[in-house]
Amino acid sequence: MTLTSFRVQLAVALGLPLAPACKPSSPEPPKAPPAIGVTSLPGSNGTCGPDQVHERLCGLVEADNTYARTGAPKPYDRCPANAIDLDDFDRNGIINGWLVHPKDHSLTGFRYDQAGSTAFEVNNGIRADEPRCCYERCATLPAIPAPRAQLPKGMHEYEDCWPKPESTNYPAPKAHDCPVALHVRLYYADGPADPLDDAPFVEAHDDSCCYSVASFHRCPPNTFEQADGTCEEPSPGGRPLREAEAVVVAPTRARDGWCAAMPTGAPIELTPAQRAHAASAWSREASYEHASVASFARLSIELMVHAAPAELVDATCAAARDEIRHAQLCYGLATMFSGVAVGPGPLALATSARVPTLEQLAVDCFRDGCVNETVAAMSAEEALRRSETTQATTVLATIVADEARHAELSYRILAWALARGDASLRARIAGELELVRAELGRQVEPMDGHAHHDERTGLLLPRTAASVRRRVLTEIVIPCTEALLATMAA
């Protein structure tokens, strides 16, 4: 399920015209951080120069587009000369790849790579009628011969990792394939601009080099710094359960009764630390799925308070049952990785049900359903694509289908509420949409994640998850909500 196919599914479910409903316009490209890479094409031998990263990406061309490439064999004659028309692609290994979205102007700097396209299909078992078009370019790292002498006064240090160059003129003493320093900054669209920083090398991984970057901002990466100096964290995936505006989950306990049996399959090789991290992360995911059961149960009551049609109440109750299964599957994965049966402890929740207004119900539905559950569906799809663990792949395949249906349900509920409400309700949802645009305007560098985090276990790195969220907001949430509001106002 691609972003495009989900947009079409959503437009059909809402009764919106397929064009231009849910069709994202080419967004304004985000303002690029300074001193980060001037691009050039690889040399005739396919290699890049010193302190250059050979960036490659492969993705699908939009199904309704056809391109004629002279001399290109079928089915690659549909591949354009550069990557600007790719509908979906992997951003790992691209400098600031989390900022690059489809139709981004920077994609014109990539050139078509026939050999890479053919190799990608062979190595990944791609269907002949859905070929991936692959592209390449060389991007220059802002490498310098020496790091800063000391941390500037009033600034804080954050570790930031960059793709490893093919070679460097300024090798670090402990890792000769990484530059000893980079002239960079963490970029925030709001607030005071951080000065350029001669960031020193910290450590190297298989395909990345990490640096200690100085910033005026106190918030760690992957969070948003507010005007009052506080740090806003992203919401958990899926429909969260809130009590007094705080996200509520049950603690994980050693217990039986919530662990689904996992299918057999050849295990991947993991260190004890990687297995422990996977167990902890899947326990956390399970706690969110478990809390979503109560969230949907609460939503079904709220819909009944406002006399919602039976089909919406029934679909909401069905979604709660889906979340029970998701929690069992995720606790099952946590149990498999840890070797100890785990499940939820008591859920600290008030027994009295709130009675929200129609407007508040619609706002909550937009935030927790149209946004969070759409992000959850696409994140599960991306995790499924990266997973190499048989059991996690099986679990994610179930979650992808269910979460996509939950996201569609959220838009159906929003459409029903907008039809019942007045202009003030439409204005409130339009205001929520402006908050989504404001989030896209806050360019925050995501963290690389825990040292023992392995995406082969079906768990996305924070950097990957941030990229998925940005794409979903840009390509689904904004255009589909705009189309829905326009239809209701007509």
User: What would the pLDDT profile of 312-338 be if each residue is shown by its tens digit?
Assistant: 999 999 999 999 999 999 999 999 998
pLDDT score, position 38: 43
Rounded to whole angstroms, the Cα distance separating 437 from 482 reads 12
Question: Is the peptide bond prior to 75 cis by the omega test (within 30 degrees of 0)?
Answer: yes
Which CATH number is 326's domain given? 1.20.1260
118 and 176 belong to one structural domain: no
The confidence band for 449, taking pLDDT boundaries of 50, 70 and 90, is low
Instruction: Specify if 224 maps to a domain.
Output: no
307 and 432 belong to one structural domain: yes
Domain extent at residue 53: 38-140
82 and 190 belong to one structural domain: no
Instruction: Specify if 25 maps to a domain.
Output: no
pLDDT digits (tens, 9 = 90+) for 233-248: 545 667 888 876 677 8
pLDDT score, position 373: 92
Rounded to whole angstroms, the Cα distance separating 365 from 361 reads 6
pLDDT score, position 66: 55
The last residue of a domain, from among 140, 163, 181: 140
136 and 151 belong to one structural domain: no
Instruction: Specify if 9 maps to a domain.
Output: no
pLDDT score, position 418: 95
Instruction: Specify if 193 maps to a domain.
Output: yes
347 and 303 belong to one structural domain: yes
pLDDT digits (tens, 9 = 90+) for 132-167: 788 999 989 999 999 999 888 878 887 888 889 989
162 and 290 belong to one structural domain: no
379 and 472 belong to one structural domain: yes
- DSSP tally for the chain: helices H, then strands E: 10, 18
481 and 343 belong to one structural domain: yes
128 and 152 belong to one structural domain: no
The last residue of a domain, from among 140, 162, 179: 140
136 and 150 belong to one structural domain: no
Rounded to whole angstroms, the Cα distance separating 373 from 6 reads 13
The last residue of a domain, from among 107, 140, 173: 140
pLDDT exceeds 50 at position 19: no
> Of 22-26, 49-53, 263-267, 431-435, where does mean pLDDT reach its minimum?
22-26
Instruction: Specify if 15 maps to a domain.
Output: no
pLDDT score, position 231: 58
199 and 184 belong to one structural domain: yes
Q: Which phi and psi angles does 213 have, rounded to 5°?
A: -95, 135
For the chain, report the end-to-end CA distance as a whole number of angstroms. 31
**Six-digit token string for 226:** 């507010």
Instruction: Specify if 5 maps to a domain.
Output: no
**Number of domains the chain is built from:** 3
Instruction: Specify if 413 maps to a domain.
Output: yes
Contact 210, 159 (CB under 8 A): yes
Q: What percentage of the chain carries pLDDT values higher than 70?
A: 75
Residue position matching structure tokens 């102007």? 105
Mean pLDDT of the chain: 81
Positive/negative CA dihedral, 217, 218, 220, 225: negative
Q: The whole model's pTM is what?
A: 0.64
Provide the phi-psi class of 268: left if phi over 0, else alpha when psi is between -120 and 50, else beta.
beta
The confidence band for 451, taking pLDDT boundaries of 50, 70 and 90, is low
